[in-house]
Amino acid sequence: MATSADFMVDIRLRAPGVTEPNVELTVMQAAIEFCERTDVLQDRFVPGDAVAGRIYTDIVTQDPSNLEVQRVHKVWYGTGPEPLTHMSNISVATPYAYDAGSPPTLLGTAAPQGTPLIWYEWASSSTRIGIYPAIPATATAAFPMVGSLKPLKTSTTVPDALWRYWYWAIVWGALKHLRSIPNQSFSINPQQAVDEFNRYCNRAKIAAIRGRSPGSVSATMYPLA
């Protein structure tokens, strides 16, 4: 994990007179905002437990003291090659309104059990997902997941992937916040910092979809004859 000190030199060169506490605060603000806007920090989570009869499973990150789940992208059941289907529109009129009891019920009727096919956001918790049908009594598999992460607001460290691959995004993100502070020696050309940060965010969004690779490849398109 990196810290604000790893970004200090380049930030101070572009924001003369800035104090260390301000750098520490804005570096973390930049890291969180960058992750929220781009989904670029992705990982495979610790597989959620499959508890027989349960209609949900909990999400656990590899580093819960520094990172939190921003969005779950894919969920599998056991070693199945195909991910579960994501259902995003949940209401009391659907089968997904079963409670978290044991067994889960809906209007007194127990949830059907079977091989899980669908996952959905759990309304009352950002660290839990719903599963349908309910996990079968003979369950022996867990739920591997892939999703995007962001630093906790209480964290004081920046993930290594951001420091290694998106160093200048964090620098310009911190400068965006610093230069917006009025009447300071470093309150210079705030729009430049905004534009640079936005540029890196746009690049990172593409990387989050297509994957990141060192260097760059360009292609020229020609019309067919």
The pTM of the full predicted model, rounded to 2 decimals, is 0.82
pLDDT along the chain (225 residues), means of 10: 95 95 97 96 91 87 90 92 82 53 63 87 81 87 94 95 96 97 92 97 90 44 43
**What does the pLDDT read at residue 122?**
81
Sequence-separated (6 or more) residues with CB below 8 Å from residue 106: 95, 97, 98, 99
61 contacts: CB under 8 Å, gap ≥ 6: 43, 45, 46, 67, 68, 69, 149
pLDDT for residue 159:
95
Half-sphere exposure of 88 (CA within 13 A, CB side): 4
Pairwise CA distance, residues 72 & 1, whole Å:
23
Most distant CA atoms of the chain, gap in Å:
68
Per-residue confidence (pLDDT) for residue 202, from 0 to 100: 96
> For position 73, what pLDDT does the model report?
93
**H-type helices in 39-119, by residue range?**
none
